[in-house]
Amino acid sequence: MAGEALERLKNGLLDLDMQGAVAAAASIAGGGDSVAVKGAVDAVADALHTIGRRFQEGEWFLAELVYAGEIAKEVMSLLSPLMDAGDSGAAGTVVVGTVAGDLHDLGKNIFINYAKSAGFSVIDLGIDVPCDRFIAAVKEHRPLALGMSCLLTSTEAEIGRVIEALKEANLRDTVKVIIGGAALTAGFARQAGADAFAPDAVTGTDIIRQWSAV
Amino acid sequence: MDFRERILTAMEHEEPDRVPVMGLIMDPATVDRILGRQPADLVGMLQNPDLAEGIVSTINTNEAWNSFYYGNTAGALESAMTLGFDANWTIYAQMKLHRDPQSALGYAYYDPFGRAWELSRAEDGSTAVNYSRALCPTEEQWEAWVQRNAALFDTMVDNTAAFHKRLVEEYGDRILPAGYAAPGIFENSWQPIGFVNFTRFIYEKPDFVRRVIRFHTDLYLRTMEAVMRSGVEVVLGGDDLGHKTGPMLRPELIEELLAESYRRVSELVHRSNRKLIWHSCGNVYKLLDMFIDWGFDGIITMEPTAGMELGKVRELVGHRLVLVGNLDVSHLLVKGTRQEIEDAVKQAIRDAGRGGGYILSACHSHPYVDGERLGWMVEAAHKHGKYPIDS
């Protein structure tokens, strides 16, 4: 029975069937079996991994990636309260935000959905985040990675500013820095002293997954 | 050849005397730097409690807004002429300042479609405006919004016609104002609702999505007709259909939802014996054949930071589309050296210039695009763009 629900959950995500996925998750959650819940969370992560690969290979498109993320969010809202404390965020903590002066959050929010489903605990600082808030969050949460998003060329200098401030606070060696956004390129990331550039949310999740595995 | 003949010849895929150059100048910061003007510190004034309410009530009158906005665009055309451009895009936008507790400033522009735009102040005091959030995230809110703003849409269409007519009358003998009907149907459909909600509605409320698109198609056609009433000879339309790595929606879904709308736009423009150049940000390789099929005559932008390469686009579309673009505005036209800009211009002309059908331009505009560097771009185009193009 749980196996069948698990299959319906995974197929619901892969077929972009919100109702089917949510019904399957509700049935698993209603069973009160923590092993089945853990299995369901793993199935969500697997499905999103497949969807991410489809996106990277050009088989799926942004809207499909977003909607799959929305389905995962609804499903996880049913499953997360039933997860064992140790399972949540086991892959590590990531602090993310859109840099000061920039109000765009679509890419950041997709990344958050995918990173959470991949087992990361995500501290979302929101949009228009000043440098000192990034630094304070790194001090407080000691994350595996700091993710900064930036859509506008006019605000890209903020990224270098935050990285410099991390160095000044002796935090740069404690955290990996990943950046993404329309205005940015891999070349800019190298120049600014970031560890990685993610052209999309899925690649970003892949990169922090690799960092987490080390 | 004069500027007009140069542009119109290129639009016919014939070789003019030299590669024409179109400006995408619109940001007041860029205009002020080119013309040596002091920026109007709108954000500073709104931060002053003694001035703020007066500013809001003045700028929100139709007459004051049109005068203020026309002044910016006239400045953009003056800038483009100063630098030697053959054409410059001209875009009318209708905005009203609202008290907005969600914005850092406490005020935001709201447009008639249901978007909030954040105002921010650069170090030099100039004002930048960026789309910040959706004002109609639900079906009910969207329906109420468009009902409430019915009269404003009519005003906007009338203002659009008057704005472009005045620009053509005042500047048309010195530069070609390329009238741009903006924003586009897809952007106007999703941005007031938000991309995540709009995406959910595509799957969960498809009839509502179709209704929204139909509404904005009809309004867009009225706006495009208003732009053309001015006599502009080259018309720009556009919709941001791409993001950094590809189309925002599956191409088949774009075809299903939007193709008829775009075909109607092309037909309207062609019925008026004009050419239509289409703008889309992002990576749009997968949509190029659709652009041709929908009847577009040319495309503008081809963002390098989204992986668009002018030479590759020319290889893919041949001379079925006029190409307008695509010098980088993330580094090159912000901080690039004169030599880097000259090299990029030479490369762009080599990639797309042969046989006409090419207009050199920046790939986009933003407040940090540097006027001096735009000037270097034009100089390099004049130096290396004479036909016939050397291999």
Q: Indicate the SS3 state at residue A181.
A: coil
First vs last Cα of chain A: how many Å apart? 37
Spatial CA neighbour of A105 closest among A124, A127, A137, A133? A127
Task: Show which of A38, A68, A86 is a domain's final residue.
Answer: A86
Q: What is the pLDDT of residues B143-167, one digit of tens each?
A: 999 999 999 999 999 999 999 999 9
For B201, name the nearest residue in chain A, comparing CA atoms only: A67
Q: Is residue A103 located within the same domain as residue A181?
A: yes
Bridge partners for B362 per DSSP: B327
- Amino acid type, A200: D
| A103 shares contact with chain B (CB less than 8 Å) | yes
In angstroms, what separates the C-alpha of B363 from chain A's closest C-alpha? 13
Q: Is residue A163 located within the same domain as residue A104?
A: yes
- Cβ-Cβ pairs closer than 8 A, A with B, add up to 76
> Which band of pLDDT confidence, cut at 50, 70 and 90, is reported for residue B94?
very high
Chain B partners within 8 Å of A61 (Cβ): 246-251, 253
E strand or H helix at B107, and its extent?
Answer: strand B107-110
State how far the Cα of B352 lies from the Cα of B316, in Å rounded to an integer. 11
Do the chains contact at B334 and A109, CB–CB below 8 Å?
Answer: no
User: Among A61, A70, A128, whose Cβ lies nearest the Cβ of B104?
Assistant: A128
Chain B 90-109, residues with CB within 8 Å of chain A CB atoms: 104
Spatial CA neighbour of A176 closest among A158, A157, A161, A189? A189
Does some domain include residue B333? yes
Q: What percent of chain B has pLDDT over 70?
A: 100
CA A9 to mean position of chain CA atoms: 20
Q: Is residue A6 located within the same domain as residue A28?
A: yes
Does some domain include residue B14? yes
What average pLDDT is seen over chain B?
A: 96
Q: What is the pLDDT of residues A161-196, one digit of tens each?
A: 999 999 999 999 999 999 998 878 899 999 999 999
Reported as half-sphere exposure (CB side, CA atoms, 13 A), residue B221 has a value of 17
Block residue for tokens 């203002």: B159
Q: Is residue A51 located within the same domain as residue A134?
A: no
Residue B201's CATH number: 3.20.20.210
Strands (E), A7-156: 92-98, 120-124, 145-149
Q: Is residue A30 located within the same domain as residue A99?
A: no
| A62 shares contact with chain B (CB less than 8 Å) | yes
E strand or H helix at A176, and its extent?
Answer: strand A176-180
In angstroms, what separates the C-alpha of B29 from chain A's closest C-alpha? 12
Residue A203's CATH number: 3.40.50.280
**B74: pLDDT strictly greater than 70:** yes
> Which band of pLDDT confidence, cut at 50, 70 and 90, is reported for residue B189?
very high
Confidence (pLDDT) at A154 = 73
E strand or H helix at A207, and its extent?
Answer: helix A201-213
Which two tokens mark A3? 């196996």
Q: Is residue A118 located within the same domain as residue A202?
A: yes
State how far the Cα of B37 lies from the Cα of A49, in Å rounded to an integer. 53
Do the chains contact at B245 and A152, CB–CB below 8 Å?
Answer: no
Predicted TM-score (pTM) of this structure:
0.91
**B222: pLDDT strictly greater than 90:** yes
| A106 shares contact with chain B (CB less than 8 Å) | yes
Does some domain include residue B158? yes
Interface mutation target, options A14, A15, A17, A61, chain B, most CBs of B under 10 Å: A61
Reported as half-sphere exposure (CB side, CA atoms, 13 A), residue B47 has a value of 12
> Which band of pLDDT confidence, cut at 50, 70 and 90, is reported for residue A81?
confident
State how far the Cα of A200 lies from the Cα of B71, in Å rounded to an integer. 39
Q: What is the pLDDT of residues A16-46, one digit of tens each?
A: 999 999 999 999 999 988 889 989 988 998 8
Does some domain include residue B114? no
Q: Is residue A137 located within the same domain as residue A74?
A: no
Tell me how many domains chain B contains. 1
Q: Could you tell me which residues come within 8 angstroms of residue A194 by beta carbon, excluding any fewer than 6 positions away?
A: A148, A159, A163, A177, A178, A179
Confidence (pLDDT) at A80 = 84
Spatial CA neighbour of B4 closest among B230, B181, B223, B168? B168
For A15, name the nearest residue in chain B, comparing CA atoms only: B203
* ipTM over 0.85 threshold: yes
Task: Show which of A62, A86, A110 is a domain's final residue.
Answer: A86
User: Among A60, A64, A70, whose Cβ lies nearest the Cβ of B196?
Assistant: A70
**B391: pLDDT strictly greater than 70:** no
Does some domain include residue B62? no
Q: What is the pLDDT of residues B293-336, one digit of tens each?
A: 999 999 999 999 999 999 999 999 999 999 999 999 999 999 99
**B372: pLDDT strictly greater than 60:** yes
> Which band of pLDDT confidence, cut at 50, 70 and 90, is reported for residue B126?
confident
Tell me how many domains chain A contains. 2
Q: Is residue A158 located within the same domain as residue A135?
A: yes
Q: What is the pLDDT of residues A91-149, one digit of tens each?
A: 899 999 999 988 778 889 889 988 998 889 999 999 889 999 999 999 999 999 999 99
Do the chains contact at B244 and A182, CB–CB below 8 Å?
Answer: yes
Does some domain include residue B111? no
β-strand B322-327 against B358-362: which pairing, if any? parallel
**A153: pLDDT strictly greater than 80:** no
Radius of gyration (Cα) for chain A, nearest Å? 18
Helices (H), chain B: 3-11, 28-35, 42-47, 49-59, 62-83, 139-148, 150-171, 185-190, 195-204, 206-229, 251-271, 288-294, 310-317, 332-335, 338-352, 371-384
Chain B partners within 8 Å of A108 (Cβ): none
For B246, name the nearest residue in chain A, comparing CA atoms only: A61
Q: What is the DSSP letter of A93?
A: E
For A69, name the nearest residue in chain B, comparing CA atoms only: B196
Q: What is the pLDDT of residues B290-305, one digit of tens each?
A: 999 999 999 999 999 9
**A86: pLDDT strictly greater than 70:** no
Q: Is residue A160 located within the same domain as residue A209?
A: yes
Q: Indicate the SS3 state at residue B274.
A: coil
Q: Which domain holds residue B37?
A: 3-42+70-94+138-384
Higher model confidence: residue B68 or residue A89?
B68
In angstroms, what separates the C-alpha of A115 from chain B's closest C-alpha? 17
In angstroms, what separates the C-alpha of A130 from chain B's closest C-alpha? 12
For B118, name the nearest residue in chain A, comparing CA atoms only: A103
Q: Is residue A37 located within the same domain as residue A133?
A: no
Residue A29's CATH number: 1.10.1240.10
User: Among A18, A64, A103, whose Cβ lies nearest the Cβ of B132?
Assistant: A103
State how far the Cα of B161 lies from the Cα of B166, in Å rounded to an integer. 9
Confidence (pLDDT) at A87 = 64
CA-based torsion, A72, A74, A78, A84: positive or negative = positive
Q: Which domain holds residue A54?
A: 2-86
Confidence (pLDDT) at A88 = 66
Task: Show which of A66, A86, A106 is a domain's final residue.
Answer: A86
Q: Is residue A76 located within the same domain as residue A98?
A: no
User: Among B118, B245, B334, whose Cβ lies nearest the Cβ of A153?
Assistant: B334
* Rounded average pLDDT over B24-49: 92
Ramachandran assignment for B129, one of left (phi > 0), alpha (psi -120 to 50 degrees), beta (any other): beta
Q: Is residue A205 located within the same domain as residue A113?
A: yes
| A186 shares contact with chain B (CB less than 8 Å) | no
Q: What is the pLDDT of residues A2-18, one digit of tens each?
A: 789 999 999 999 999 99
